[in-house]
Amino acid sequence: MSTQHKNLSDFSGTKIPSAAPYNFGIVVSEWNTEITNALYQGAYQNLVNNGALPENIFTYTVPGSFELTSGADLLLKNSKLDAVICLGCVIQGETRHFDFICNAVANGLSNVAIKYSKPVIFGVLTTNNQQQAIDRSGGKHGNKGDEAAVTAIKMANLVETLNS
């Protein structure tokens, strides 16, 4: 699918439940802060715009994307959250480090979600270059933080529905 002219964060055709009843954790990588701060602003604002109470949104930072897994695990171990949003950015370099980090984070976050039976949202950009990251953190392709927030709301609502 080509994303050349598409805003990936357009939710006009989808129903988003109210975020009001839920508690959210957001774990943000400090690496590539220009990008991750933009992702965080998108996620936080989207949660609030969909009814989440600011006092029910708990934000923590970790050094890099690799540490998002540990951050999510610690949050779910020590709090009553309905979903955790993990935000990071890994940009391709000259070595295979990119592949190792991306795979470890994706697998790690999946494992944390399974361990706690809670939604752990992968809001990590894995781009070829800085411009692609900018385009997906509030640029021409939308904001992956917005998408992560909507996913967290929908998944928290799904858990509530299934537990009812």
In angstroms, the first-to-last Cα distance of the chain is 37
Q: Given the residues 77, 97, 115, 140, select the one marked as catalytic.
A: 97
**Six-digit token string for 13:** 């055709």
Listed in sequence order, the DSSP H helices in 51-143 are 68-78, 97-116, 130-135
Distant-in-sequence, close-in-space partners of 103: CB < 8 Å, separation ≥ 6? none
C-alpha dihedral (39, 24, 121, 6), degrees to nearest 10: -40
- Which SS3 state, helix, strand or coil, does residue 122 take? strand
3-state helix, strand, coil in the chain (%, to 5): 50, 20, 30
Place of tokens 């220009």: 34
User: Can 141 be counted among the known catalytic residues?
Assistant: no
Query: Which residues are 58's β-sheet partners?
Result: 25
For the annotated catalytic residues, the residue numbers are 97
